[in-house]
Chains A and B, each alone.
Chain A
Amino acid sequence: MTRFLRQFAVPVYALIGLTLLSPSAIAETPFPTIHEPSDESLKCIHPEDEMRRNHMKYILHERDETMHEGIREEPESLANCINCHVEPDEKGEIAGIDSDKHFCNACHQYAAVQIDCFQCHADRPQKFINRNGHSSSITQQLKRTLADNAGVNE
């Protein structure tokens, strides 16, 4: 009996002590910082709480439909999430998927979820993909630029 009491007493005292001395310590449970699109007018494809819980179901469903049936208009496209959710910070830097600043990784790191999607999928919108090592010939790039500029001065 005394043994039981002793065992019990320690955590209880500790708890009381904590609450009395630093009440804020308990309130400050660390939460992940989730970056929301800076354009306030944007809305997610479904209500926020629904997205928090079920985003994986939507993307995985969309994945199979796109691969096998060629359905491309669904808002649940992974490319679509990335286009909306990933943007540069104030310094113009864009967080990669390994960073806890990347939208998809912020919660995942916190909740110890590991996904392999970004081994293949781009983690940022196309306009921010810097493909230094790409293999197209210089002439190809030049032609592309010329084609892009065609008609500009007309």
Chain B
Amino acid sequence: MTDSTKKSTIDSSRRDFLSKAAVAGTVTIAPGLLLHSTAQAASSGNISTRPHDEDVSNKNRWGLLIDTEKCATGCTDCVDACNEENGLVSHGRPETDAQYIRKVTLKEKSTGHESSLPLMCQHCETAPCADVCPTGASFVRADGIALVDKHICIGCRYCMMACPYKARSFVHEDVENQKLTAPRGKGTVESCTMCVTRIDNGGIPACVEACTAENHNAMIFGDLNNPNSDISIALKSRGGKQIRSDLALNTGVRYQGLNE
């Protein structure tokens, strides 16, 4: 695995997706769990309000929107927060250390325009990882979150080969002192879970929380199916692209500020 991925094939045909989105007053997103208790947030589509005993459904589709113009080159606040949240430790071997988010620089060949952005699992609707998985361990949850069921993952790594974003890591080492909310161990594949435990508990992903807390405000989390969510409103007003939209994977992670 190399550390930086350069891609230039980006198209804007998705610009007007969600064009049916209704206009609503913008709601400023407060960091983390605070949102949970506010009545306004309940219907906002910015966090999950699904009761804990109700199955996930495709009523929601969780997504991320990243504004590359606000994402500073060299800033790793989201990556640090992710590592902390998931208990990812470096073994001093970047080639094989688990990474859920990487900061990459994309360069537009024709203009030379560069953008810095966090690249993580893009949470595809039609996920190549799930297609190739021989055991059904790679799957996309009904609400759009691509996950690995590590209980049935055999560590074959087909999904890593299939992923166009190189978003997955294999755990090569015995793991100790895991976070109680983020089990991980040797011999299985893993990637960004969009912080599924946080989402299920009405929170927002750790990366978005850190980016917002630091006032960079380059990341928005929310329900793509809810026209009133901050993410839908931002997408409606300024559009958003999918990286490698030519692959028609309908990713849940969208980017703003990328040039043609």
Contacts and interface: CB of A to CB of B under 8 A. Distances in A.
Interface residues of B, number: 43
Given A120-B175, A129-B177, A136-B80, A67 B149 contact: yes
A78 B177 CA distance: 16
Given A70-B55, A120-B175, A134-B87, A140 B80 contact: yes
A120 B150 contact: yes
B151 A133 contact: no
A73 interface: yes
A79 B179 CA distance: 10
A35 interface: no
A68 B83 CA distance: 24
Interface in B183-220: 183-186, 188, 196-197, 200-201, 210, 213-214
B147 A67 contact: yes
Contact of B90 (A129, A135, A140): A135
A63 B151 contact: yes
Contact of A71 (B53, B147, B214): B53
Nearest to A119: B185
Contacts of A134: 83-84, 87, 89, 177
A127 B177 CA distance: 11
Contacts of B139: 68
A70 B180 contact: no
Interface in A37-72: 63-64, 67-72
Contacts of A67: 147, 149, 151
A148 to B, nearest CB: 12
Given A82-B180, A130-B177, A143-B213, A68 B149 contact: yes
A147 interface: yes
Interface string A125-154: 110011111111100100110010000000
Interface of B: 50-56, 76-77, 80-81, 83-84, 87-90, 139, 141, 143, 147, 149-151, 174-175, 177-181, 183-186, 188, 196-197, 200-201, 210, 213-214
Q: Closest 8 interchain pairs by CB? A: A73-B52, A120-B185, A70-B56, A136-B84, A120-B183, A119-B185, A69-B55, A126-B180
Interface of A: 63-64, 67-74, 79, 82-83, 116, 119-122, 125-126, 129-137, 140, 143-144, 147
